[in-house]
Chains A and B, each alone.
Chain A
């Protein structure tokens, strides 16, 4: 199991579908993807975490970095996650207060600040 990444556009949002394991080895790939998107003008991101099997603090760091980048352009970064084991990681690090977390891509795409 490695990290899989794909992107698609829905309206003014760019959806990044992440699968597999985000850890100290694979997180740099996700970071590059987020940097690429922001550099091409995609400032409203939805990161779909439903296919993520493992997430460590390096992955959290990359997501926080992505959030900082889009916010510099008045953008947004929303997460889609319903998996309890992944949600728990956001809770124990206090990051549920930082990221809007949605139950579905549809909900995240429709969400306004």
Chain B
């Protein structure tokens, strides 16, 4: 199990760094090439959301990105896991159903609430839009309160069973 943890100061210029690190980790873990774009978009949205929340509530605290290739998805298959943890008030922009999961209906974007970022530096992501994009891209998504008193953990997984097949055939050759 290989785990990488990245702490970034909550500034928009670091979101690209997080995307590149996440894409590199995903490639190395064996996520299919066709899914790397989705990894970049999803982690970019999750990270931009966390950065905006930190800038508002706790600008001195780093946003934490964690990646591991040793996860298991909801069906028990090996997967690559990316987590973004923020320290803001828990889930201020996340609607939840009765069991605490993000409802599927949330993927439908309400354009009447889609407003342009108003802050001078353009860092405020329209409420909910980033998460809506993640829901639209990632099959296996969990949004829950982080451990401790504050914060939200956004956890996303991508399948690795294709990589497993490659490993087996490589071992057969050697």
Confirm or deny: B133 has a beta carbon within 8 angstroms of a beta carbon on chain A: yes
Confirm or deny: A104 has a beta carbon within 8 angstroms of a beta carbon on chain B: no
Interface size in chain A (residues, C-beta < 8 A):
24
A83 CB to closest chain B CB (Å) equals 10
| Set of chain A residues within 8 Å of B117, measured between Cβ atoms | 27, 58, 61-62
Given contacts A25-B13, A92-B137, contact A57 B116 (CB under 8 A): no
Main SS of chain B's interface residues? Answer: helix
Given contacts A89-B133, A92-B107, A92-B133, contact A61 B126 (CB under 8 A): yes
Which of A28, A57, A64, A93 is within 8 Å of B125, CB to CB?
A57
Which of B12, B37, B40, B108 is within 8 Å of A24, CB to CB?
B12
Which residues of chain A in 6-31 are interfacial with respect to chain B, using CB atoms and an 8 Å cutoff?
21, 23-25, 27-28, 31
CA distance A15 to B115 in the complex (A): 24
Interface size in chain B (residues, C-beta < 8 A):
32
Check B116–A64 contact: CB distance below 8 A: yes
CA distance A89 to B109 in the complex (A): 12
Which residues of chain A in 71-113 are interfacial with respect to chain B, using CB atoms and an 8 Å cutoff?
85, 89, 92-95, 98
| Set of chain A residues within 8 Å of B132, measured between Cβ atoms | 92-93
Confirm or deny: B70 has a beta carbon within 8 angstroms of a beta carbon on chain A: no
* Other contacts beyond A57-B45, A92-B132, A95-B111: 9, CB < 8 A: A24-B52, A25-B12, A54-B41, A60-B129, A61-B116, A61-B125, A92-B136, A93-B136, A94-B111
Interface set of B (CB-CB < 8 Å, partner A): 12-13, 15-16, 19, 37, 40-41, 44-45, 48, 51-52, 107-109, 111, 114-117, 121-123, 125-126, 129-130, 132-133, 136-137
